[in-house]
Amino acid sequence: MMSKITGVLVDNHIYDIKNDMTNGYHFPNCLFPGATFKMVIDNDPVNNDKVKWSCSTDADNNVLAISQDGTVTFPDVDEKCIGNIFAIFATDKSTNKSAGIYMFTVKRFFKYSIETYDSVKDILPWVKKMNGEFPEAQDIDSYDYNDHDSGHIIKREVNAGLYQEWGDVANSGWNTNSECAGICRIYAFNKEDNIYYWLKNDGVRQELSVGFTAQAVASYGESIA
């Protein structure tokens, strides 16, 4: 039986093309510097060596790469990738026929600082310097902000917040070397209730704009909200 692309592996979670990618939304919808994930052949990445991998994009030629174990990376990627088409090709080694084409378009891009800050006030100048926007809360952690619990389980899904799509972003290439315990922390603004939130990628959140350290993040592109 000829092999085929069935999904992608992102921070120990497999998104199945048929079951998890609906309405034309393919992972990833948001991207960031250092981002990486792995393609999946026949429902298990152990099968990735059954095909030959190649890739193409109408973005800059140097912003997409794939290794022969199916690992996808984005060298030197920046916000100019938004709206461009990315394509991953697999060719079955036994038949030399196509094992599938995986295509996606990036809608949002997040640029982040390595250093940390302890207030929104300190982060705003960095965001302005990057010519970006202060991130919308739903774009970082897609959750019901009328639920005032201080934490929740991050549900993995496509075309949702950064944490939902990518899981523990430190495992997907986000540099958290300056963060405590390597856990990503981001200040974001919820327009619906006019509140700044401190959001961790383990589902913890606080309503405040000062007091806890976080990386500065500049947002670009199309917001979920």
Q: pLDDT by residue (tens digit) across 140-170?
A: 999 988 877 778 999 999 999 999 999 999 9
Please report the pLDDT score of residue 75 as a whole number: 96
Please report the pLDDT score of residue 173 as a whole number: 96
Complete DSSP assignment for 24-87: T--S-SEE-TT-EEEEEETTSGGGGGGEEEEEEESS-GGG-EE-TT-EEE-TT--GGGTT-EEE
Instruction: Calculate the CA 182 to chain-centre distance.
Output: 17
User: pLDDT tens digits, the chain, 225 residues: what are they?
Assistant: 789 999 999 999 999 999 999 888 899 999 999 999 999 999 999 999 999 999 999 987 689 999 999 999 999 999 999 999 999 999 999 999 999 999 999 999 999 999 999 999 999 999 999 999 999 999 999 998 887 777 899 999 999 999 999 999 999 999 998 887 789 999 999 998 999 999 999 999 999 878 899 999 999 999 986
Please report the pLDDT score of residue 225 as a whole number: 64
Please report the pLDDT score of residue 179 as a whole number: 85
Cis peptide before 28 (omega within 30 of 0): yes
Question: In this structure, which long-range contacts are made by residues 42-46, counting pairs with CB atoms below 8 Å and at least 24 apart in sequence?
Answer: 42/3, 42/4, 42/6, 43/6, 43/7, 43/14, 43/16, 45/9, 45/69, 45/70
Please report the pLDDT score of residue 58 as a whole number: 92
What amino acid is encoded at 60 in this protein?
A: D
Residue ranges, CATH 2.60.40.1080, the chain: 5-105
Look at domain 5-105 and name its CATH class: mainly beta
Q: Computed over its alpha carbons, how large is the radius of gyration of the chain?
A: 18
User: Per the structure block, which two tokens stand in for 182?
Assistant: 């390597």
Please report the pLDDT score of residue 61 as a whole number: 67
Which residues contact residue 59 at a Cβ distance below 8 angstroms, ignoring those fewer than 6 apart?
77, 80, 81, 84, 86
